[in-house]
Amino acid sequence: MGNEVENHEEHRAEGVGQHGRSGSEPGNVTTRIRARYGDAAVRGGNAVGCESVIAERDTHLPFMTFLKDDPELSFDYLVDVTAVDRLQLDEEIRFAVVYQLYSYKHNRRFSVSVPVPEADPWIGSVVSVWPGANWLEREVYDMYGIVFEGHPDLRRILMPDDFGSHPLRKDYPLHGKGERDNFVF
């Protein structure tokens, strides 16, 4: 039994870092982005085990196109689009739209976070870059009310069309606002 525990401990020591990285040398993507946009333009995000940056909303679309088209990056697979309502976090800007990207060529993941203010919650749609963003952006619009400018078909996707609120916002109560009592079937 003692032996087994020892082996287990050994394995733990070896296994450190296995969770840490996903296939790429640390810093590759950020270095490439810095080379293109300058050091000042790149703020690192706080994703665990994956490189990440915080991008600006105004230059977001050309930036995403660059991430996809640059041969050294070629993030050709848009994994996920989602948002975070940072109302209860210590952040100035309320929303952040988060993109998870993957490059088949380099076997590398990357995460881009774009702050979106509550006052005018819009962001450029990336459907023209990755068509698969279509439903993912609709879901973010549905859940958070963030408008994707240039989206070909921005409608609610999970909630009913006449649903008045955006349920994943932090100020929307868990038990709803009584919509369930008034559903029209």
Query: Nearest approach, Cβ of 109 to another protein (angstroms)?
Result: 7
Q: Any contact of residue 180 with another protein (CB under 8 A)? A: no
Residue 109 tokens read as: 């993941």
Q: Give Cα separations from 50 to 45, 54, 82, 104, 127 (angstroms).
A: 10, 13, 17, 15, 24
What is the H or E stretch that residue 92 is in?
Answer: none
Tell which positions 55-94 bind another protein, by CB under 8 A: 76-80, 82, 84-85, 88-89
| Contact region with another protein (CB under 8 A), list: 26-34, 36-44, 56-64, 131-139 | 131-139
Binder among 16, 71, 171, 182 for another protein (CB under 8 A): 16
Tell which positions 147-176 bind another protein, by CB under 8 A: 153, 156-161, 167-168, 172, 174
Query: Nearest approach, Cβ of 79 to another protein (angstroms)?
Result: 6
At residue 130, the 3 state secondary structure works out as: coil
Query: Nearest approach, Cβ of 35 to another protein (angstroms)?
Result: 25
Judged by phi (left if over 0) then psi (alpha if -120 to 50, else beta), residue 41 lies in alpha
Q: Could you write out the DSSP letters of every residue in 127-180?
A: TTT-TTHHHHHHHHHHHH--EEET-TT---SSS-TT--S-TTSTTS-TT-SSGG
DSSP 157: S
What is the maximal distance between C-alpha atoms in the chain?
Answer: 65
Q: Any contact of residue 184 with another protein (CB under 8 A)? A: yes
Binder among 58, 131, 149, 177 for another protein (CB under 8 A): 131
Nearest alpha-carbon partner for 143 in 156, 132, 125, 131: 156
Query: Nearest approach, Cβ of 20 to another protein (angstroms)?
Result: 8
Residues near another protein, by CB under 8 A: 4-5, 7-8, 11-12, 15-16, 18-20, 22-23, 45-50, 76-80, 82, 84-85, 88-89, 98, 100, 104, 107, 109, 111, 130-132, 134-136, 139, 143, 153, 156-161, 167-168, 172, 174, 184
